[in-house]
Amino acid sequence: MTEAALSYSESDEQAILDTVSRWVEKEVKPHAAALEHDDIYPQAMVDQMRALGLFGATIAEEHGGLGLSASTYAKIVALISEEWMSLSGIFNSHLMMARIVERYGTDRQREYWLPRFVTGEIRGALALTEPNAGTDLQGIRTRADAHGDEFVINGTKTWISNGIEGGAVALLVKTDPEATPPRKGMSMFIAPKMDPDTGKPHAGFKTGRRLEKLGYKGIDSAELIFENYRLDAERHLVGGVPGQGFYMAVGGLELGRINVAARSVGIARRALKEATAYSQTRETFGKPICQHQAIQLKLGEMATRARAAELLTLDAARAYDAGERCDMEAGMAKYFASESAMENAAEAMRIHGGYGYSKEYAVERLYRDAPLMCIGEGTNEMQRIIIARQLVARNPV
Ligand SMILES: Cc1cc2nc3c(=O)[nH]c(=O)nc-3n(C[C@H](O)[C@H](O)[C@H](O)COP(=O)(O)OP(=O)(O)OC[C@H]3O[C@@H](n4cnc5c(N)ncnc54)[C@H](O)[C@@H]3O)c2cc1C
């Protein structure tokens, strides 16, 4: 890794993208396919991403981060995802955890956690989903009971990205299981596996199975089990007051959705690139297949989808950066871009004929990675409902 760490001002955006692009070309491209097929955690790339500063990409400069705008960040995510989507997952959910501390934490919590997150010394994730509750987050059962200055946490989370390789999670729990509505009894903790000061492991935080998946390989998705896991409130209960956790979880979703939209743009663009190149080299009936109208129709639709997905994503990111309410825009971007990733991956596979089914071509990976984009950060069923609700709310009669 020879690239210098990133630094940032708006005018530097292109320089940052060039640096990331060079890193992807030199360090990711030659190894991504092999690591993905063998489902190996890309430790060397993680170390390089730490050196580049990506674990502090959206964290404010006053805490040591790069303080990137959502727009620049989305472009970086799309660029990396074009080569290997899993990599962006390693820092995306980490940055969502950091965002919760930055936005809702006490001053002491910001001072304590954010510098450790910026360097990637502690890398983490967002632990919301449980075996019985994903979309319906108010149905979670993990609970934290107050005992003096501490909380004792019991419960199980599942599907947690970075759950094994990461060192901490932003953990959504119930502190008042009887509250009505239930969301008022939910709280968020920063839950490390070991005490950062002493290095002593927390016995109550156990990692369960590494879950086997269709795609999104390399990155670990895990069950996490909490058994009498004790955390002091001052350092770990985000904001210092219980009852705010649900709002913190959904408050981070706009950026999370822009993020998934950007990953989807990467997949949709890569599928288009692969198909465009292959269709010029593969000949049938005496000419390259790009000269057959049936293939041209596919390429035309794929190019339009990829571009529209990119523009919707940048539109949502711009609104986010301007501090505007953007749940509708982020929902549209996430919904359209992820469906575009699915369709472009499938069409690229068709254009490759039998070779699209071979592990030797990138399109089979895109085909396996794309469906997750329709699930993460709120399923696409929910996105359409959110869009419709906002549409009505913004246009009252
Ligand atoms: C690879 C991977 C990585 C993940 N990483 C993380 C992570 O890091 N952290 C984390 O917390 N979670 C993570 N998840 C979990 C993910 O967020 C959930 O799977 C997702 O929220 C959906 O929840 P569910 O699987 O319980 O589906 P369910 O909520 O059971 O939904 C099942 C179906 O019903 C639909 N549905 C549900 N409610 C409604 C409704 N009201 N109206 C219409 N349709 C509805 C859904 O859209 C879906 O089609 C990950 C999942 C995967 C597969």
C-alpha 257 to ligand 1 mean position (Å): 14
Q: Which residues of the chain have pLDDT under 70?
A: 1-11
In angstroms, rounded to a whole number, what is the distance separating the alpha carbons of residues 265 and 315? 13
Spatial contact of 245 and 182, defined as CB atoms under 8 Å apart: no
pLDDT at residue 394 in the model: 94
pLDDT at residue 180 in the model: 96
53 shares its domain with 181: no
259 shares its domain with 384: yes
For residue 131, is it within any domain?
yes
C-alpha 30 to ligand 1 mean position (Å): 33
Q: How far, in Å, are 9, 273, 321, 378 from residue 335 at the CA level? A: 30, 22, 20, 10
pLDDT at residue 214 in the model: 97
Strands 186-192 and 150-161 turn out to be unpaired
Strands 283-284 and 287-288 turn out to be antiparallel
16 shares its domain with 149: no
Q: Which 3 state secondary structure label does DSSP give 208? A: strand
**Which of 247, 267, 284 is the last residue in one of the domains?**
247
238 shares its domain with 256: no
376 shares its domain with 261: yes
Spatial contact of 145 and 152, defined as CB atoms under 8 Å apart: yes
CATH code of the domain in which 385 resides = 1.20.140.10
For residue 110, is it within any domain?
yes
Domain span including residue 132: 124-247
pLDDT at residue 40 in the model: 97
pLDDT at residue 12 in the model: 86
For residue 302, is it within any domain?
yes
What is the pTM for the complete model shown? 0.95
Does residue 377 carry a catalytic annotation? Answer: yes
DSSP assignment letter at 327: H
**Active-site annotation holder among 165, 223, 329, 377:** 377
pLDDT at residue 2 in the model: 44
The token pair that represents 187 in the structure block: 């709280």
Nearest CA owner, ligand 1 atom 17: 376
Spatial contact of 293 and 370, defined as CB atoms under 8 Å apart: no
pLDDT at residue 135 in the model: 94
In angstroms, rounded to a whole number, what is the distance separating the alpha carbons of residues 112 and 179? 31
42 shares its domain with 97: yes
For residue 179, is it within any domain?
yes
pLDDT at residue 3 in the model: 54
For residue 134, is it within any domain?
yes
The residues pairing with 126 across neighbouring beta strands, listed in sequence order, are 170
